[in-house]
Amino acid sequence: MNRYPVKSCRGEPLDSALLEPWGLAGDRRWMVVDDEGVPITSREIPSMLLTRAELISDGLGLSHPDAGEIRAAAGSTLVDVSVWGTPVSASLAEPAANDWFSRLLGVPARLVYLDDPTRRPTNPLRTRQSDRVSFADGYPLLLTNESSMDALNDLIAAGPLAAEGPLPMTRFRPNVVVRGAPAWAEDGWRRIRIGAAQFRVVKGCDRCVMTTVNPDTAAKGKEPIATLARHRRWDGKTWFGVNLVPNSHGVGLRVGDDVEILDAVEDPDGPLR
């Protein structure tokens, strides 16, 4: 399991986590935005991935190899921001954190906190009216499959960019990684149980250039998008992993929990899209 306290910054591996309606507790509740409230991400500034964020009692502990350390706290001022065009109000961090990110990124930047996650609904075409999400791109959790990662690395090794592989799962920034299922089996899953929690699989995950950035060095390459485009391309997009919406709230998840497939489609034509 992994959570990402600040959207587009370094992830944090977990042994256990509380499941909330909008995802793992503490996942993507913070985000960096520009003066217009539009997210600044590692798609545009890859070095963001080197920013470490630690949840502390009164906010965040932040560090970066080029910027040192700082503690950040949310203020009382609400500002309008957006995620993929969807507006939502969030708490503006205190000035020191905004200045720290502006210097680090080389552009005007503000750190914001989603103090009330009930403000942001999920896509109503795929989810229920009551479903909510944090600052994640679209849905509360992302699940990936170790066997699919192995299969993808085999494809990379057999291709023209073999020197870029093998790649670690961290390229895909999942919340939950499962082991023991066949490669690409997750394409057909529709309802699953992890430990005591049940989830709906609402959509496959189409991948962007952020996966081509090495999260340990911020160096950019062409994989895995190049190989996914040859072998996992539908509707003009490349796909890896599936998006989950929890039916269970207030449940603890632990690494090692059993996974049960409650409903699945046989022989799916790629991921749910």
Do 215 and 173 belong to one domain? yes
Rounded distance between C-alpha atoms, residue 32 and residue 187, angstroms? 32
Instruction: Judge whether 271 lies within some domain.
Output: no
Q: How many domains is the chain partitioned into structurally?
A: 2
* Rg of the chain in Å (alpha carbons): 18
Find the domain containing 106 and state its range: 2-119
In tens, the pLDDT along 171-215 reads: 999 999 999 999 999 999 999 999 999 999 999 999 999 999 999
Do 78 and 155 belong to one domain? no
Instruction: Judge whether 269 lies within some domain.
Output: no
In tens, the pLDDT along 44-85 reads: 999 999 999 999 988 999 999 999 999 999 999 999 999 999
Instruction: Judge whether 136 lies within some domain.
Output: no
Do 154 and 235 belong to one domain? yes
**Residue 96 — very low, low, confident or very high, per pLDDT cuts 50/70/90?**
very high
In tens, the pLDDT along 217-263 reads: 999 999 999 999 999 999 999 999 999 999 999 999 999 999 999 99
In tens, the pLDDT along 103-158 reads: 999 999 999 999 999 999 999 999 999 999 999 999 999 999 999 999 999 999 99
Do 203 and 96 belong to one domain? no
Do 253 and 153 belong to one domain? yes
Do 73 and 167 belong to one domain? no
Q: How far is CA 82 from CA 38, 134, 175, 191, 229, in A?
A: 6, 12, 22, 30, 29
The number of beta carbons lying within 10 Å of the beta carbon of residue 33 is 26
